[in-house]
Amino acid sequence: MRDSKNNNIDFLWNAFLRGDDKSFSAIYQQHIEAMFSYGYKLSADREIVHDCIQEIFIDLFLKREKVNVRIENLKSYLFVALRNCIGKKMSKKRRFEPIRRGEESNDISFQTEYSFQEKLIELEISGEIKKKLQTAVNSLPDRQKEIIYLKFEEEMDYSEIADILKISVESARKLLYRSLLSLRKIVDPAVVQTLFAIFFRKKSIFMSMF
């Protein structure tokens, strides 16, 4: 499934680099929903998210001859660009606005609560487990929420996640491991084991982690 999708993106990307504007439009359509979804979880300011996505694709279009992106990393490239853009715009905005009590004034945060609804329906997870898992995930620190989102919802590999979070691949692995341990402390370990065993289809690996 993923290989087929990557092959399609590979075809579109090469066509875009040769000057095919229709391929650029197709690349945009394939990534725009995921970018908006991720962007809204980084900032509640929709105008900032919209502006960043628009700027990223305009920049990509205008500088296609200078872009050096491997196809398998295109999605992470777009996510990195989006995360950086939102962070810069939010920092600039904070300089001109008083910081409200309790707000963070430094790094970008992954604060928005989100739902695993579609993914859990796809995996046929029961309603009770859905509720417990969503509550547990949304109680985690921002960084742990973000890596679970990137791994579980966006199905990214560790190298892609490492690029986005600006950490090493090994650090990405350790962060996900710590995130799963945090979930295990909040909900029944069986809930965490069941979900990730089904999703990754590597039950023996995850069972050995707990």
The pTM score is 0.75
Q: What's the confidence (pLDDT) of residue 138? A: 85
In the chain, list all ranges with CATH 1.10.10.10. Answer: 117-207
The segment(s) of the chain belonging to CATH 1.10.1740.10 are: 2-96
Q: What is the pLDDT of residue 206?
A: 42
Task: Name the CATH architecture for the domain at 2-96.
Answer: Orthogonal Bundle (1.10)
Please report the pLDDT score of residue 66 as a whole number: 80
What pLDDT was estimated at residue 205? 40
* pLDDT of 44: 87
The CATH architecture one would assign to domain 117-207 is: Orthogonal Bundle (1.10)
**Hey, is 117 helix, strand or coil?**
helix
Confidence (pLDDT) at 162: 95
Which contacts qualify for 122-129: CB closer than 8 Å, 24 or more apart? Answer: 123/195, 123/198, 123/199, 125/194, 125/195, 125/198, 129/191, 129/194, 129/195
pLDDT by 10-residue block (mean), the chain, 210 residues? 66 89 94 94 93 95 79 84 94 62 50 56 61 82 92 90 95 93 81 62 42
Q: What is the token pair recorded at 50?
A: 């919209």
| Pairwise CA distance, residues 78 & 160, whole Å | 11
What pLDDT score was predicted for residue 37?
A: 92
Q: Tokens 């739902």 — which residue?
A: 115
Rounded CA separation 153/128 (Å)? 20
Report pLDDT for 108. Answer: 64
